[in-house]
Amino acid sequence: MLTRIDHIGIACFDLDKTVEFYRATYGFEVFHTEVNEEQGVREAMLKINETSDGGASYLQLLEPTREDSAVGKWLAKNGEGVHHIAFGTADVDGDSEAIRGKGVRVLYDEPRTGSMGSRITFLHPKDCHGVLTELVTAAPTTSTDH
């Protein structure tokens, strides 16, 4: 069962400049940063708020580390902006299978490692009214290391 909006992914050309915009304009601070080599991105998670299920909601700023990454290709085609929406779930495996059973294409056969040690998968945007959708199960403990 999907429990919350985990994050909104925003693709950007310059992560540092984009982080500074969100800090100066809205007062959002970086909660976590990492480079995900598999996905070819450098990212910053900006915590927006805590949620009633013990999770949190974030903005995920994504800068490609290579042009051939999914985010790099998306930026080349679309420019900066909202890349995806992610819903939190306690069971990414079960929920992705249930959604697959409703005819929605799940992009990964098995969930992969995402930000902060989470488990993730994506749903095909053509099956989700044009929205790339991510399902996220948070890691048991959340790091606050930058």
Q: Is 32 marked active-site? A: no
Q: How far apart are CA 98 and CA 15, in angstroms?
A: 35
Residue range(s) defining the domain that contains residue 69: 2-137
Q: Give the pLDDT confidence of 92-107 residue by residue, as tens digits.
A: 999 999 999 999 999 9
145 in a domain, yes or no?
A: no
27 in a domain, yes or no?
A: yes
Q: Give the pLDDT confidence of 24-73 residue by residue, as tens digits.
A: 999 999 999 999 999 999 999 999 988 777 778 999 999 999 999 999 99
Q: Is 43 marked active-site? A: yes
Catalytic residue among 7, 39, 63, 83: 7
91 in a domain, yes or no?
A: yes
Query: What letters, b where the CB count within 10 A reaches 16 and e where it falls short, cover 23-35?
Result: eeeeebeebbebe
Q: Is 84 marked active-site? A: yes
Domain count within the chain: 1
Q: Is the pLDDT of residue 142 over 80?
A: no
- Sequential DSSP letters for 44-91: EEEEEEE-TTS-EEEEEEEEESSTTSHHHHHHHHH-SEEEEEEEEES-
Catalytic residue among 39, 43, 63, 83: 43
Q: Is 135:121 a contact under the CB 8 Å cutoff?
A: yes
What's the predicted TM-score (pTM) here? Answer: 0.90
Catalytic residue among 32, 39, 83, 84: 84
Q: How many CB atoms lie within 10 A of CB 54?
A: 12
Beta bridge partner(s), residue 63: 42
Catalytic residue among 39, 60, 63, 83: 60
